[in-house]
Amino acid sequence: MVGTLFNTVAVAVGASAGLALGARWSTELKDKIFVVLGLFTLAIGAMMALETESPIDVFLALVLGTWLGHGLQLQARVSAWTTPSRDASSSTGQGFFEAMMLFCLGSMTLVGCMEDGLMDKPNLLIVKGTMDLISSAFLAATLGRGVLWSAAGVLVFQGALTLAFGWAGAGMDPALIRELSALGGVLMLGIGFQLLGLRAQGLPQWPLVDALPALALLPLLRWVHETLPF
């Protein structure tokens, strides 16, 4: 849990600094940093996505996961809570969800929690936490107090993953980790475009929340794929 605790504190410190100093940063500077964050997220997402060796599994997981998420109206429910108006609570909720997706998706989270839980090695999460320290400061300056609240979300999410890996007592199949990482990379591409202020044609925002069930469906699809005789 050392890595998760470090990551949580890093996000809280970075977000607090962003909230305190954000007013001193010019809008032009914040916009430029935001573009850099978006480009960097796109680059990381692309590298992760290209690691897949079973693109059909990732594709089907995304399609079926988005279909399931749409049926459950996940994106609509989140949007109803985060953007009912332009008041502070709306922007706070939006900031929380965007920060959570940025901080908690990706191979560094999954593999870092696995190493911390199974081998008591927090190194990777400490590296990730240092990156999140910088990102959270500029995110909080732009998205507001919700980014600070995401520190608690990081603690719960990464803490639960770390404890789950520790309880399992055995490493996850490296091939599954790779494919989950690739799927997370595709979602991170969406986050990157969203950070850049780009929109999916005909949609008010990228349907990232609807796509999240894909992470749960991918292990099942891989099992089916490996079980089939062809």
Read off the pTM.
Answer: 0.73
120-158 exposure pattern, b = at least 16 Cβ within 10 A, e = fewer:
eebebbbebbebbbebbbbbbbbbbbbbbbbbebbbebb
Whole-number pLDDT of residue 199: 60
Mean pLDDT by 10 residues, the chain (230 residues): 93 93 77 81 87 93 94 79 49 78 76 82 88 86 87 94 81 80 85 75 68 89 82
